A and B are shown apart, each in its own frame.
Chain A
Amino acid sequence: MELLNNLGLGFSVALAGTNILYCFIGVLLGTLIGVLPGIGPVATIAMLLPTTFVLPPVSALIMLAGIYYGAQYGGSTTAILVNLPGEVSSVVTCLDGYQMARQGKAGKALGVAALGSFFAGSVSTLLIAAFAPPLAEVALKFGPADYFSLMVLGLIAAVVLAHGSLIKAIAMIILGLLIGLVGTDVNSGVARFNFGLPELIDGIGIGPIAMGIFGFGEIIRNLEHTEKREIFTKNVSGLLPNWSDIKQCIPPVLRGTALGSFLGILPGGGAVLGAFSAYTLEKKIAKDPSRFGKGAIEGVAAPESANNAAAQTSFIPLLTLGIPSNPVMALMIGAMIIHGIQPGPQIMTAKPDLFWGMVASMWVGNLMLVILNLPLIGMWVKLLSLPYRLLYPAILIFCCIGVYSISNAWMDVLLAAACGFMGYVFYKLDCEPSPLLLGFVLGPMMEENLRRALLLSRGDPGVFMTRPISATLLVLALLLLILVMAPAIRKKREEAFVEED
């Protein structure tokens, strides 16, 4: 009953004239910067922060949050249409979404992504409303050993992303881990592999890597030969997902939402793992896993829902513990502080209108996004019929400005170009880049937590088995490993049989 009262209060705040307007401005801006490849929510929110000083705190935070989840929606559009992940979590959407677009099913992919995201957003908003404080305690239970084991589980899940050679996928993960180690080592303060460049002391950003390997690599590959170039099939089959598509997507969306909501609560890398593990789960339980990577609709629905659920629940550690789970959340803390609000559980009691208004606005914002995005799908799909010679210079200029704006460093633009070359080589050698990206993100966290766990246990590796969370995760990782290896071994045997025949 109390929840209903609170939500009532929230909606009365969120739906009040100016707030709903700021919510709309936020999601609209978010969609725009999400769709434009390169430019991300961090730069946008940072720039807009001063303009919110004059607004009442509730309106300001509603707008900034709107930019964040609006960008998530917009980001999946770019991932599906041009194979350009705006951030790590949409890498997974690229895998099957882009393939669907190539088969003329871009509209379906976009529709499923929007509907899945909306559902996930609604459920996780409710979760925040009902259980934020107890869920925050979950985040507090995770120590360094547990995070390490979570990363191990995540990396094994990354192997499943590949649909080619297993051993090459593992090599790509390790390569990603190594690239992730460039920069200052948290535990010793030593700058590693920076080759004397001060710009590399804080490591290589995800922007140049994702933009370079995926975006630039793909462009060069498309330019290779005029005749063979990637032209999307003109016969677009069904702009929007039909009922049978939707029915097919209900279970993946449910599973994705559950996984994403849970992992989003964990401040260290949880949200990143959400989309990846949702995809892995779908591929593992699918009747025909070989469809994945070739345009499986579940491969879009599940990670997109997980992604959005995690984006939403990552507000939980922020609102209740004051721990930011990603750079956007760090900015939100900054925004709260500048408005004289201390993030933390006392918000709920001290400023109930702010807390519940924000929660309710998230749902309102998600609804706006669906209404905004569904009609836009037709326009996006039309964009694909633009001649490629006009499309790719546009992608390039957005990417370049976006990469530059992350930390106003021209070095990042050059790094992205280098990564573009790497992406092209990977393509030539049949090495899939998505496991590399996951390794890149998880690598530093994995090493950091491993060493921290050993430091805290005074060098005793037993800590990974004696802590219940860590032990459970490691057992899960082992099970997953067996599950991953089994079909590969079976396949080898089958191939051997075929050859002997």
Chain B
Amino acid sequence: MKALIKNPRDFWAGIMFIVIGCLFAGVALASYKMGTAARMGPAYFPFVLGGLLALLGLVISLLSLSKKNAGPAVEKFHWAPNFWVLGSICLFGVTLKIFGALLSGVLLVLLSALGSSEFKLRDMLLLGIGLTIFCAAVFVWGLGLPIPLCPNIDALQQVKLCRI
């Protein structure tokens, strides 16, 4: 296998395009009306594009087998930064309505900072608090964007600073 693929980056990119293309074309075909070229249905455009993408993916993959297109290997995939950065973003999204931006924001800064190898808790806590207060001041108190600030508890919602 290794010997066959001369350009692994292209090869896997090609596979990715084939999978995504087939997915779109398949869903379009299965769920929506096709119509004709003169009177296209909702499936027509995505089906054609999906097919085209799969075809291009195939060509890319096949070309990557040729010696002429030799290229470097796919670099190592680092899961840790992906996990911390994306995980903390998702957590922020999910908890924003419940915890409010002040808490969720500090959480976001702290957790995402774990993705870096030079994590210092004290620094990050200070940074997190500073940034969330800055954001609250600019976006909520300044511009009046409707972003929940405090945890969704009735008593807290009546505090003036928590008000949108």
Q: Which A positions have Cβ atoms within 8 angstroms of B? A: 32-33, 36, 39, 43-44, 47-48, 165, 167-168, 170-171, 174-175, 177-178, 181, 185, 187-188, 190, 192-193, 216, 219-220, 223-226, 387-390, 392-394, 396-398, 400-401, 404-405, 408, 410-414, 416-417, 420-421, 424-425, 428-431, 447, 450-451, 454-455, 459-461, 495-496, 499
B103 in the interface (beta carbon within 8 A): no
Give every chain A residue within 8 A of B81 (Cβ-Cβ).
219-220, 223-224
* A102 CA to B53 CA, complexed, in Å: 34
B151 in the interface (beta carbon within 8 A): no
B56 in the interface (beta carbon within 8 A): yes
Question: Pick the contact of A188 from B41, B113, B131 — CB < 8 Å?
Answer: B41
Instruction: Please determine whether B93 and A429 come into contact, CB atoms closer than 8 angstroms.
Output: no
* A249 CA to B145 CA, complexed, in Å: 39
Instruction: Please determine whether A405 and B145 come into contact, CB atoms closer than 8 angstroms.
Output: yes
Question: Pick the contact of A425 from B16, B94, B108 — CB < 8 Å?
Answer: B16
Give every chain A residue within 8 A of B56 (Cβ-Cβ).
167, 170-171, 174
Give every chain B residue within 8 A of A175 (Cβ-Cβ).
17, 20, 53
* A183 CA to B106 CA, complexed, in Å: 34
B161 in the interface (beta carbon within 8 A): no
State the Cβ distance, B49 to closest chain A Cβ, in Å: 5
Give every chain B residue within 8 A of A225 (Cβ-Cβ).
78
State the Cβ distance, A58 to closest chain B Cβ, in Å: 23
Question: Pick the contact of A396 from B32, B59, B109 — CB < 8 Å?
Answer: B109
Instruction: Please determine whether B146 and A410 come into contact, CB atoms closer than 8 angstroms.
Output: no
Say yes or no: A393-B128 contact (C-beta < 8 A), given A193-B24, A428-B74: yes
Instruction: Please determine whether A178 and B50 come into contact, CB atoms closer than 8 angstroms.
Output: yes
> Which residues of B (1-58) have their CB < 8 Å from a CB of A?
9-10, 12-13, 16-17, 20-21, 24, 27-28, 31-33, 36-42, 45-46, 49-50, 52-53, 56-57
Additional pairs, 19, CB under 8 Å, beyond known A175-B17, A190-B32, A190-B33:
A174-B52, A185-B42, A216-B86, A220-B86, A223-B78, A223-B81, A223-B116, A224-B78, A394-B127, A396-B112, A398-B135, A400-B92, A401-B139, A404-B147, A417-B93, A455-B39, A459-B38, A461-B37, A495-B68
Instruction: Please determine whether B42 and A388 come into contact, CB atoms closer than 8 angstroms.
Output: no
Chain A residue nearest in CB terms to B37: A461
Say yes or no: A39-B139 contact (C-beta < 8 A), given A171-B57, A405-B145: yes
* A218 CA to B4 CA, complexed, in Å: 31
Interface size on B, residues (CB 8 A): 75
Give every chain A residue within 8 A of B39 (Cβ-Cβ).
454-455, 459
Give every chain A residue within 8 A of B109 (Cβ-Cβ).
393-394, 396-397
Instruction: Please determine whether A192 and B32 come into contact, CB atoms closer than 8 angstroms.
Output: yes
Question: Pick the contact of B28 from A36, A43, A192, A499 — CB < 8 Å?
Answer: A192
Give every chain A residue within 8 A of B77 (Cβ-Cβ).
428
Among A48, A171, A408, A420, find the residue whose CB has the most chain B CB atoms closer than 10 A: A171
Give every chain B residue within 8 A of A495 (Cβ-Cβ).
68
Say yes or no: A428-B75 contact (C-beta < 8 A), given A394-B127, A413-B89, A413-B93: yes
State the Cβ distance, A178 to closest chain B Cβ, in Å: 5
* A450 CA to B27 CA, complexed, in Å: 22
Instruction: Please determine whether B128 and A396 come into contact, CB atoms closer than 8 angstroms.
Output: no
* A501 CA to B139 CA, complexed, in Å: 63
Chain A residue nearest in CB terms to B75: A428
Q: Which 3 A-B pairs have the closest CB atoms?
A: A459-B38, A413-B93, A223-B81
Give every chain B residue within 8 A of A431 (Cβ-Cβ).
13
State the Cβ distance, A396 to closest chain B Cβ, in Å: 5
Instruction: Please determine whether A397 and B33 come into contact, CB atoms closer than 8 angstroms.
Output: no
Instruction: Please determine whether A47 and B144 come into contact, CB atoms closer than 8 angstroms.
Output: yes
Instruction: Please determine whether A47 and B145 come into contact, CB atoms closer than 8 angstroms.
Output: yes
Give every chain A residue within 8 A of B53 (Cβ-Cβ).
171, 174-175, 178
> Which residues of B (110-164) have their CB < 8 Å from a CB of A?
112-113, 115-119, 123-124, 127-128, 131-132, 135, 138-139, 143-147
Chain A residue nearest in CB terms to B16: A429
Give every chain A residue within 8 A of B32 (Cβ-Cβ).
190, 192
Give every chain B residue within 8 A of A405 (Cβ-Cβ).
139, 145, 147
State the Cβ distance, A408 to closest chain B Cβ, in Å: 6
Say yes or no: A404-B138 contact (C-beta < 8 A), given A397-B131, A421-B86, A455-B39: no
Instruction: Please determine whether B143 and A48 come into contact, CB atoms closer than 8 angstroms.
Output: yes
Instruction: Please determine whether A192 and B46 come into contact, CB atoms closer than 8 angstroms.
Output: yes
Give every chain A residue within 8 A of B63 (Cβ-Cβ).
167
Chain B residue nearest in CB terms to A181: B46
State the Cβ distance, B66 to closest chain A Cβ, in Å: 11
Chain B residue nearest in CB terms to A411: B93
Give every chain B residue within 8 A of A421 (Cβ-Cβ).
82, 86
* A2 CA to B72 CA, complexed, in Å: 65
Chain A residue nearest in CB terms to B51: A174
